[in-house]
């Protein structure tokens, strides 16, 4: 009884019921599992955010300590292996799910009027997700991470005219160094997640505004 | 709905979602708590028996310096500290080990053979043969290892180091 009163008090001031109806209780076309991939991507983003925050409790983004701090997380911290394992495999899964989500939207032609902007923002989301994978891959600072980033930044450096500048901007200098590690870390935990969060908010607003598209029928 | 076989599709979805959500939340949330508080659960015990050398190598009645190092591991960082002591065999059977750290501000004291006292180079503190304060600013006698804290195993002198 007290909870009902408390909820009524909050609801009157926050419009929780209206919010619920607009976001979670909106009308849908006939259910289809392929339509759940966007929500799955959102869930993975939140999971990556949570496990990433936990990893930052022990991880140290410096060449002296990055590798050792991860070894410590894996071998000495209770459930460190689990938190890092979820972050590691969640990253791969997120790229996969986001990509299949994009394919579904393409195949069902859901990107057409009035949802072109939703698609364009989705492209931004895909690029940010790949950027998260790219920057996160360097952070363990092992041989695989070091050389993968060396190769990938060299590829960026092969762009005509501005290539060498892009490469120096990515690496924070001519070579991979402590500067590369700390700027990749900053991009991985602050810049890209901030952009992702903003784009996700807009993406979801547009989906709620336009509703989900019907699957094309035989006549389409 | 308890006891009813006519559970609606909507209620089934609601209950399943809540159950799966709770399970995932617990599977990630509980280990996460253990992960966060882990360093607080590890014991910081650093006591150990430290060998200082063969007992025969120390002359009875004369303070002889000895040193040892202890390493502490915090996370992935290892710190090595060295410690110095004076070994004084008060008799053939009894041994007193004194820390060379001045009890005033922690400088290392030296044994002065002429004056037969320990002298701290920082503020001229003076300690007697067995560590008692003779003069200067120290608030208490030199820290000592004696009785249970000293033992001899196979001719080797050991002290029970408690950390710090």
The pLDDT tens digits of the residues spanning A113-138 come to: 999 999 999 999 999 999 999 999 99
Count of domains for chain A: 1
Tell me, yes or no, whether B30 and B60 share the same domain: no
Residue B4: predicted pLDDT: 59
Tell me, yes or no, whether B35 and B104 share the same domain: no
Tell me, yes or no, whether B62 and B106 share the same domain: yes
Q: What letter would DSSP give residue B101?
A: B
Asked if residue A24 belongs to a domain, the reply is: no
Q: Is B40 on the interface with A (CB under 8 A)?
A: no
Mutate to test the interface with B, among A44, A50, A62, A82 (most CBs of B within 10 A): A82
- Which one has a higher pLDDT value, B27 or A55? A55
Average of pLDDT values for A194-219? 91
Residues A23-59 as b or e (16 or more Cβ within 10 Å = b): eeeeeeeeeeeebebbebbeebbebbebbbebbeebb
Tell me, yes or no, whether B65 and B124 share the same domain: yes
B15 min Cα distance to partner chain A (Å): 16
Does the pLDDT value for residue B42 go beyond 50? Answer: yes
Count of domains for chain B: 2
Q: Is B41 on the interface with A (CB under 8 A)?
A: yes
Q: In the A/B pair of chains, how many CB contacts fall below 8 A?
A: 40
Residue A117: predicted pLDDT: 97
Residue B53's SS3 state is strand
User: Residue A87: which domain range?
Assistant: 35-210
User: Residue B141: which domain range?
Assistant: 48-161
Tell me, yes or no, whether B93 and B19 share the same domain: no
Residue B39: its chain A contacts at CB < 8 A?
Answer: 77
Tell me, yes or no, whether B26 and B79 share the same domain: no
Whether B38 sits inside 8 A of A77 (CB atoms) is yes
Confidence of residue B1 (pLDDT cuts 50, 70, 90): very low
Tell me, yes or no, whether B37 and B62 share the same domain: no
Residue A15's SS3 state is coil
Q: Is A83 on the interface with B (CB under 8 A)?
A: yes
A25 min Cα distance to partner chain B (Å): 12
- Which one has a higher pLDDT value, A201 or B164? A201
Residue B2: predicted pLDDT: 54
Q: Are strands B150-153 and B110-112 parallel, antiparallel or unpaired?
A: unpaired
Residue A89: predicted pLDDT: 97
Confidence of residue B75 (pLDDT cuts 50, 70, 90): confident
Residue B131's SS3 state is coil
Whether A69 sits inside 8 A of B76 (CB atoms) is yes
Confidence of residue A30 (pLDDT cuts 50, 70, 90): confident
In DSSP terms, which residues pair with B119 in a beta bridge?
A: B110, B126
A64 min Cα distance to partner chain B (Å): 10
Domain CATH for B103: 2.102.10.10
Query: What ranges make up the beta strands (E) of chain B?
Result: 48-54, 64-74, 77-89, 95-99, 110-112, 117-119, 126-127, 133-135, 144-145, 150-153, 156-161
Residues A8-19 as b or e (16 or more Cβ within 10 Å = b): eeeeeeeeeeee
List CB contacts of B125: < 8 A, sequence separation 6 or more. B102, B104, B109, B119, B133, B135, B136, B137, B138
- Which one has a higher pLDDT value, A123 or B149? A123
Average of pLDDT values for A162-189? 96
Whether A58 sits inside 8 A of B75 (CB atoms) is yes
Asked whether the beta carbons of A55 and A140 are under 8 A apart, the reply is no
Which of B28, B34, B76 is opposite residue A78, by nearest beta carbon?
B34
Tell me, yes or no, whether B65 and B136 share the same domain: yes
Average of pLDDT values for A144-166? 96
Asked if residue A46 belongs to a domain, the reply is: yes
Q: Is A80 on the interface with B (CB under 8 A)?
A: yes
Residue B155: predicted pLDDT: 85
Mutate to test the interface with A, among B13, B76, B79 (most CBs of A within 10 A): B76
Asked if residue A171 belongs to a domain, the reply is: yes
List CB contacts of B97: < 8 A, sequence separation 6 or more. B52, B85, B86, B87, B88, B144, B145, B146, B149, B150, B157, B159
Whether A79 sits inside 8 A of B35 (CB atoms) is yes
A39 min Cα distance to partner chain B (Å): 14
Confidence of residue B3 (pLDDT cuts 50, 70, 90): low
Asked if residue A12 belongs to a domain, the reply is: no
Tell me, yes or no, whether B35 and B67 share the same domain: no
List CB contacts of B47: < 8 A, sequence separation 6 or more. B160, B161, B162, B163
B99 min Cα distance to partner chain A (Å): 34
**Could you tell me which chain A residue has the CA closest to the CA of B37?**
A78
Whether A69 sits inside 8 A of B75 (CB atoms) is yes
Asked if residue A15 belongs to a domain, the reply is: no
Question: How far apart are the C-alpha atoms of B6 and B12, rounded to whole Å?
Answer: 10
Question: How far apart are the C-alpha atoms of A159 and A168, rounded to whole Å?
Answer: 12
Domain CATH for A148: 1.20.810.10
Tell me, yes or no, whether B53 and B127 share the same domain: yes
Q: Is A71 on the interface with B (CB under 8 A)?
A: yes
B79 min Cα distance to partner chain A (Å): 14
Which of B28, B35, B77 is opposite residue A77, by nearest beta carbon?
B35
Residue A126: predicted pLDDT: 97
Q: In this predicted complex, what is the ipTM? A: 0.83
Does the pLDDT value for residue A167 go beyond 70? Answer: yes
Residue A142: predicted pLDDT: 95
Tell me, yes or no, whether B26 and B88 share the same domain: no
Residue B11: predicted pLDDT: 93
Tell me, yes or no, whether B54 and B112 share the same domain: yes
């Amino acid at each position: 009884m007290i909870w009902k009163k408390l909820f009524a008090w909050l609801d009157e001031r926050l419009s929780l019921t209206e919010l619920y109806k607009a976001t979670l209780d909106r009308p849908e076309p006939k259910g289809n599992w392929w339509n759940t991939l966007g929500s799955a991507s959102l869930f993975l983003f939140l999971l990556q955010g949570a496990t990433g925050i936990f990893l930052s409790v022990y991880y140290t983004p410096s060449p002296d300590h990055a590798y050792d701090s991860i070894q410590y997380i894996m071998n000495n911290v209770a459930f460190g292996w689990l938190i890092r394992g979820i972050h590691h495999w969640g990253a791969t899964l997120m790229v996969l799910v986001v990509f299949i989500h994009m394919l579904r939207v393409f195949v069902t032609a859901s990107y057409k009027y009035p949802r072109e902007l939703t698609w364009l923002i989705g492209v931004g989301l895909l690029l940010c997700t790949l950027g998260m994978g790219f920057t996160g891959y360097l952070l363990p600072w092992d041989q695989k991470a070091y050389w993968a980033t060396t190769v990938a930044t060299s590829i960026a450096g092969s762009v005509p005219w501005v290539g060498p500048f892009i490469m120096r901007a990515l690496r924070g200098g001519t070579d991979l160094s402590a500067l590369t590690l700390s700027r990749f870390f900053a991009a991985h935990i602050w810049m890209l997640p901030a952009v992702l969060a903003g784009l996700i908010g807009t993406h979801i607003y547009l989906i709620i505004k336009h509703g989900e598209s019907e699957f094309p029928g035989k006549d389409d | 709905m308890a006891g009813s076989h006519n559970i609606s599709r909507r209620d089934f979805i609601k209950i399943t979602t809540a159950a799966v959500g709770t399970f995932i939340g617990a599977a990630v949330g509980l280990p996460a708590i253990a992960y966060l508080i882990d360093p607080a659960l590890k014991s910081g015990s650093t006591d150990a028996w430290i060998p200082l050398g063969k007992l025969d190598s120390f002359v009875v009645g004369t303070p002889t310096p000895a040193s040892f190092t202890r390493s502490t591991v915090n996370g992935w960082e290892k710190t090595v500290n060295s410690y110095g002591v004076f070994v004084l065999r008060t008799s053939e059977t009894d041994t007193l080990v004194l820390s060379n750290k001045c009890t005033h501000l922690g400088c290392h004291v030296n044994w002065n053979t002429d004056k037969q006292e320990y002298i701290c180079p920082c503020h001229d503190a003076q300690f007697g043969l067995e560590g008692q304060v003779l003069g200067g600013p120290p608030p208490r006698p030199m820290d000592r290892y004696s009785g249970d804290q000293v033992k001899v195993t196979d001719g080797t002198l050991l002290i029970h180091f408690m950390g710090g």
